[in-house]
Amino acid sequence: MPSYRLGEAAVALGVSVDTLRRWVDEGRVRGTRTAGRQRVIDSSELAGLAMESAPSHGAATAATASARNRLAGVVTRVTRDGVMAQVELQVGPHRIVSLLTREAADELGLAPGVIATAAIKSTSVMIERSAG
């Protein structure tokens, strides 16, 4: 399971690094330190925190924005069948759901706790994962 630096995790959760650092210090989420003393959060911890921090699924409000939105978040669920995959991404208080081929989800390594980006244009939502 990958781990993420506090800055990466904070962006995915829609909170400040200071807030996330405080949550680690308070024990709300478990963090560890790398050999270089950087704080990191395990992907499974990040997925749990994303689900805990999110309002109920119907609580998100609509907003207007440009047609080419890129929203970083945390994958909270991946449901695969023979051909398709349904991916749920928690972006701050918003839940994004995308349908894509199982092959694409497998190639991207999408699983709960992975940080990914929803690229939204019109009615299509594509999930991306950074190379890092």
Q: What is the pLDDT of residues 37-74, one digit of tens each?
A: 999 999 989 988 888 876 554 433 344 434 367 888 99
> Cβ of 32: how many Cβ atoms within 10 Å?
12
pLDDT at 105 over 90: yes
Mean per-residue pLDDT for 66-86?
Answer: 86
Query: Which element (helix H / strand E) includes 63?
Result: none
Residue type present at position 92? G
Q: How many domains does the chain have?
A: 2
User: Dihedral sign, CA of 77, 107, 9, 33?
Assistant: positive
Residues 73 and 114 in one domain: yes
pTM of structure: 0.57
Residues 45 and 78 in one domain: no
Residues 11 and 47 in one domain: yes
Task: Give me the CATH number covering residue 114.
Answer: 2.40.50.100
In contact, 110 and 78? CB cutoff 8 Å: yes
Task: Give me the CATH number covering residue 8.
Answer: 1.10.1660.10
Give me the domain span that covers residue 78: 69-128
Domain end point (choices 29, 53, 77):
53
